[in-house]
Amino acid sequence: MRHFDEGGRFVEVGTYLGRSLCSLGEVVRDGGKRFSVIGIDTCRGSGAEGPQQKDFHGGAVAAGGGTFAGTLHRNIIECGLADTISLIVSDSVTAASLFADRSIDWVHLDASHDRESLTRDITSWLPKVRHGGWLSGDDYNAEKWPEVVSTVKELLPEARKWSSKQWRLVVEDPENLASAAPAPLTS
Ligand SMILES: C[S@@+](CC[C@H](N)C(=O)[O-])C[C@H]1O[C@@H](n2cnc3c(N)ncnc32)[C@H](O)[C@@H]1O
């Protein structure tokens, strides 16, 4: 909230039932600056994943007859955040194509945690973050989610561990980086 200018746009990819999304929504609603908060999820779960191949969302998907979209939306309404948070029920890559390049201040990735999916998410969303904005993600934990750590290290070597178990890249303007570099030596 302190870092971003009013009118900015925050996106969380992978909301599940809205715990982290509503937490962000509360900070925005009560923070006195106007921001858009957008949550994106297929609402069909990630399926079996991680070293233990556990299906974390299957129960909620089954309970909703194949989607937890109703529960997610109800949670947002019950938290008093219906006017703060917008939802897009969609696959991450399709949703990314709806946004113009450099039009988002902060994208937080918390969808599927396997290498292939995270690679797709990083590749699709990185161009959408404005210069000076943030691309971040959850579950930066080598024991529980080794593919998150290895994929981030490989694709985004400038990203850093952030907060308790997250990673974050501050997206720099390549021209600023170039001008900050020492001038090439001439003879
Ligand atoms: C780890 S959970 C999100 C947890 C949530 N951020 C929280 O803290 O409560 C991952 C979510 O990503 C969603 N998901 C998985 N693959 C996706 C994809 N390709 N596009 C959009 N959402 C996806 C799943 O449906 C699931 O709800």
Cα 5 to ligand 1 centroid, rounded to whole Å: 27
Pocket of ligand 1 (CB under 6 A): 13-16, 19-20, 40-42, 44-46, 57, 91-92, 110-112, 117
Tens of pLDDT, residues 74-113: 999 999 999 999 999 999 999 999 999 999 999 999 999 9
Among 57, 75, 113, say which to mutate for ligand 1: greatest number of ligand atoms within 8 Å of CB: 57
pLDDT of the residue at 185: 46
pLDDT at residue 179, rounded to an integer: 56
Task: Determine the 3-state secondary structure of 105 from DSSP.
Answer: strand
Both tokens assigned to 50: 């991680």
Q: What percent of the chain lies above the pLDDT cut of 90? A: 89
What is the spatial distance between Cα 183 and Cα 187, in angstroms, rounded to a whole number? Answer: 12
Atom of ligand 1 nearest to the CA of 138: 6
6 in Cβ contact with 34 (< 8 Å): yes
Assigned architecture for domain 9-178: 3-Layer(aba) Sandwich (3.40)
Provide the pLDDT for residue 186. Answer: 40
| Sign of the Cα pseudo-torsion (57, 81, 95, 114, in order) | negative
| Mean pLDDT value across residues 142-165 | 96
| CA nearest to 45, candidates 67, 72, 64 | 67
Q: What confidence category does residue 187 fall into, taking pLDDT thresholds of 50, 70 and 90?
A: very low
Could you give the CA distance from residue 35 to residue 76 in angstroms, rounded to a whole number? Answer: 16
Q: Rounded to whole angstroms, how far apart are CA atoms 34 and 120?
A: 30
